[in-house]
Structure 1
Amino acid sequence: MSPGPGHDIYIRLAASESRGKKRQVVIVTLCLMVGVILVCLSLLLSFQMRKRMNHQSSEIELPQFDLSIIVKATNDFSMDNKLGEGGFGPVYKGVLDEGQEIAVKRMSKTSHQGVDEFKNEVICIAKLQHRNLVKLLGWCVQGTEKMLVYEYMTNKSLDLILFNPTRSLLLDWPRRFNIINGIARGLMYLHQDSRLRVIHRDLKASNILLDCDMNPKISDFGLARTFGGNETGGNTSRVVGTYGYMSPEYAVDGMFSVKSDVFSFGVIVLEIVSGKRNRGFVHSDHRLNLLGHAWMLYEEDRSIELVEPCAKKSCDISEVTRSIHVGLLCVQQHPEDRPSMSSVVMMLSNGGALPEAKHPDLFHKNKSSLVSVSSSNHINQPLPPLVMNGFAYAMQLLKVKKDTKKSIFKPEINSVG
């Protein structure tokens, strides 16, 4: 018999079922609270960062771009617009409504470069103005997005042309020499002529951009350090940079200075002349890396043989040999032996006598102190060729002393085409 209308019905549930439902409610509530807290923290951090960046950018008069403008300019970060990718993240080409072409560096969520590097680049490069430094047009911080907006460089980065067998044909000797001089002037400005002394710390071919006339501009200041007064360097336990370009004192001991940049510049000079990467280059005849090979040719007065074949027809022999000589002066083992960038600019521009170059750093006596270091492109890599190939070089030096009649430093002299 069913109960009549108006009667209450009581249902008894098992105690375990009741507790289970309460537990589910508690878990869901906690998850929602944690989610809300995380969203609030994210918004708060984004707001604080934008507030700091707005304050700093107002001082340096650097505009902030709205995310919607960048999304539209890059066609929603289309793969067709992607120019490349580095340690910071992908880079996209974009076109603003008024027709101006831009390059957008979008910080990836997996980037090992963090907010500090982002802020460092904005603050550092925004205060720098030189024809051989890439121009930062603005920045964007919105939600989880962090982006830098640069002037667009038609010919992209130097490495994409220099080390490409086909595209390298575009670089005759006059253009190569112009690129060398432009980088030297830009670096001299950073070291002594800008408002702040700037040490780049990651100077390499991929961080040299080329405009439509192949004029070079130094880019990527995320790892740069600024100094005031008479300071010219410092040290760090966090070594960052790229193997093949790092000076020995920086790679081994974390000591960096303006002379660290000078070393990197010297490597780039030898790469521009030869068309070969220092990292990974091992000559088939003597197993030396690019620095060792250039030194051997210099010692035997055969430096002209280092020139990439496609540039030989247009080369000025005196400019070539002077550039190689200057490059070798820059990669000398001891920082105090390397010239300043103002001296480099002077040496490249006149025909005066140059000091004798000392042996470049090809191996380290204190090998046990060399450990894996962080890099913008390579993390926890084995010892670089700069070090490993030095052992072969050391063995060659010993062999020369024992057998002067069959010196390995006297190969046949090839004719210059």
Structure 2
Amino acid sequence: MKLLLILFVVLFVFLHQSFWIHASIEPLPGPLVFSPLISPVSTSMAAFSPGIQMGSEDPHHHHMDAHHKLLIALIIACSALCLIILALLCLWLYHLKYSFKSSNKNAKSKDSENGVVLSSFLGKFTSVRMVHKKGSAISFIEYKLLEKATDSFHESNILGEGGFGCVYKAKLDDNLHVAVKKLDCATQDAGREFENEVDLLSNIHHPNVVCLLGYSAHDDTRFIVYELMENRSLDIQLHGPSHGSALTWHMRMKIALDTARGLEYLHEHCNPAVIHRDLKSSNILLDSKFNAKLSDFGLAITDGSQNKNNLKLSGTLGYVAPEYLLDGKLTDKSDVYAFGVVLLELLLGRRPVEKLAPAQCQSIVTWAMPQLTDRSKLPNIVDPVIKSTMDLKHLYQVAAVAVLCVQPEPSYRPLITDVLHSLIPLVPVELGGTLRVAPSGPPADSTIPSGH
């Protein structure tokens, strides 16, 4: 666009200069051209007399005519060029407008893929109405609809339990399955967490953050409706009845990558930045294809919204960073520490805190740290489920990332962006990374020896 404007200005200056140059040519002497002493008859005779030359045949006049014709040609050409430029400008403006509309459509399409389409689907129910809350439109769902969808919150529909209530599977009309978190908000803390989560999730839309569909209220009870995650939580997959049998090495690396992407969005792309403050395996939910999404934002805070050093100590034992536990200092590096603990769970298949005796517990970080940095010992502590499916070189790389994430000193921990970039090459292309895996699987010489 700038190039077209410059070209137009240059042409205008050129035409302007040309016009004044030709206008400044002195006229030929009067007696030769315009003198009244020359009669029309003599002019006519002179025209047929080979020995007489009239002033109109003077070379200067020919020179002036040539310049005049050239000027007319230039004006015509430049006019045509201006019309072409104008047409191109119109086409460019049309393209710009069309691109803007397309980008809006693409953005809406992307939101639909992330689960927002389910929210719009809820809008057709008569028991749902849109409520504007802090600049965002959220679906308020009537309590009776949720009561019917969960069979009066029957225990057979419980998906999980939290600090303030349970999460239920619900079936709305047209076989739409959702998850409903039921919160007993009789206490001030529970009510604050409910408000915080609804406010935050109504403004967060990302493929690796669970999608908020709506909320409801009944007496002192509050309800939050999410998209249903068919494979429930990472905690259930790793430490439940299956003991991680459904999670291969590559699937675990995909879950770690998805979690890192969700955290990076909160830390780097939200304005203001969001610190989750309660990242753990039970708050990492898995859909039918084992795509991981962050959930439970009741304790999350926005960076700068309040004095983070005066916050009430909250979190889950085993995931809380040392500086936050001891001094109350909270930063995005606190989330990185919790991510490191989740990474250790994926590698080792162990819980973050294990009981050794009735009054004695052991942290996975304390137990594993000496062995994570010893290549001869590391293969011996890996989850047996994945020993035969992983690349030993990749194991060392992931262990090194985990060690950095759980460093006691926050300044030694990497940013989540750095963690993300270190995991991408370890995840197969079809699972969202850049690793190209041979059909036969990992090379035989790079797997853990069977004798270990």
Q: Indicate yes or no: 2:350 matched with 1:276.
A: yes
- 1:141, CA displacement in angstroms? 2.0
Percentage of matched positions with identical amino acids:
38
Structure 2: where are the runs of 5+ without partners? 1-128, 427-447
Whether 2:331 is the aligned partner of 1:257: answer yes
2:384 maps to which residue? 309
Residues 88, 112 of structure 1: 8 Å contact kept:
no
The separation in 2 between residues aligned to 1:105 and 1:304, in whole angstroms, is: 40
Contact 1:163 1:277 in 2 (8 A): yes
Residues 350, 167 of structure 1: alpha-carbon distance in 2 compared, 3 angstrom cutoff:
closer
| SS of 1:175 mapped into structure 2 | helix
Alpha-carbon contact 1:156-1:210 (below 8 Å) kept: yes
Counterparts in 2 of 1:282 and 1:290: CA distance versus 1, 3 Å: farther
- The 2-side partners of 1:275 and 1:110 are apart by 37
Cα root mean square deviation, aligned: 2.6
For 1:58 and 1:233, how far apart are their aligned partners in 2? 21
Q: Which has the higher contact order (CA 8 A, sep 6+)?
A: 1
1:316 to 1:205, Cα distance in 2 relative to 1, 3 A: same
Matching of residue 343 in structure 1 with residue 418 in structure 2 = yes
Distance apart, 1:282 and its partner CA: 5.8
Deviations, residues 339-384 of structure 1 (Å, cap 9, x unaligned): 0000111122248xxxxxxxxxxxxxxxxxxxxxxxxxxxxxxxxx
Alpha-carbon distance change, 281 to 323 in structure 1, aligned in 2, over 3 angstroms: farther
Q: CA, structure 1 residues 416+273, in 2 after alignment: closer, same or farther (shift >3 Å)?
A: farther
TM-superposed CA distance for 1:110, in Å, is 6.1
The answer to whether the Cα contact below 8 Å between 2:184 and 2:190 also exists between their aligned partners in 1 is no
How big is the shift at 1:236? 2.5
Shifted more, 296-305 versus 166-175: the winner is: 296-305
Query: Counterparts of 1:153 and 1:350 in 2: how far apart (Å)?
Result: 27
Separation (CA, whole Å) in 2 of partners of 1:222 and 1:324: 30
Q: Which amino acid aligns with 2:166?
A: P
Encode CA deviations 1:48-88: one digit per residue, 9 max, x unaligned.
xxxxx976537212111011111111111111111121013
In the other structure, the counterpart of 1:127 is: 203
The aligned amino acid for 1:263 is Y
Task: Say whether residues 1:298 and 2:402 are aligned partners.
Answer: no
Match of 1:81 among 142, 152, 157: 157
Higher helix share goes to which structure?
2
Contact in 1 for aligned 2:134/2:199 (Cα 8 Å): no
Moved more, 297-306 or 68-77: 297-306
Q: Secondary structure at the match of 1:162?
A: helix
Name the amino acid aligned to 2:135: E
In 2, the alpha carbon distance for the partners of 1:192 and 1:233 equals 20
Q: Within 5 Å, which residues of 2 pair with 1:207-246?
A: 207-227=283-303, 234-246=308-320
CA separation in 2, counterparts of 1:232 and 1:57? 20
Per-residue Cα deviation, 1:262-294 (whole angstroms, up to 9, x for no partner): 0000000001110001211669xxx97422333
3-state SS in 2 of match to 1:107? strand
Partner of 1:331: 406
Answer yes or no: is the 8 Å Cα contact 1:103–1:152 preserved in 2: yes
- Picking from 168, 174, 186, the partner of 1:98 is 174
Is the Cα–Cα contact under 8 Å of residues 157 and 208 in structure 1 kept in the other structure?
yes
1:197 maps to 2:273: yes
Contact 2:352 2:365 in 1 (8 A): yes
Q: Whole-Å Cα distance in 1 between the matches of residues 238 and 306 of structure 2?
A: 31
**Which residue pairs with 1:381 in the alignment?**
none
Paired residue type of 1:345: L
Q: Could you tell me the TM-score, scaled by structure 2's length?
A: 0.62
Gaps in structure 1 of 5+ consecutive residues: 1-52, 352-412
The one-character-per-residue Cα deviations of 1:125-161 (angstroms, maximum 9, x if unpaired) are: 1111111111110001233331100011111111111
- The 1:326–1:173 alpha-carbon spacing in structure 2 relative to 1, beyond 3 Å, is same
SS at 1:322 equivalent: helix
Tell whether 2:250 aligns with 1:174.
Answer: yes
Distance 1:289 1:157, change over 3 A: same
How many residues align? The count is 299
Give me the TM-score of the superposition, normalised by structure 1.
0.67
CA distance change for structure 1 residues 196 and 171 in 2, over 3 Å: closer, same or farther?
A: same
Q: Which residue of 1 aligns with 2:224?
A: 148
Please report how far the alpha carbon of residue 310 of structure 1 lies from its aligned counterpart in structure 2 after TM superposition.
Answer: 1.0
Distance 2:199 2:451 in 1: 49
SS in 1 for 2:138: coil
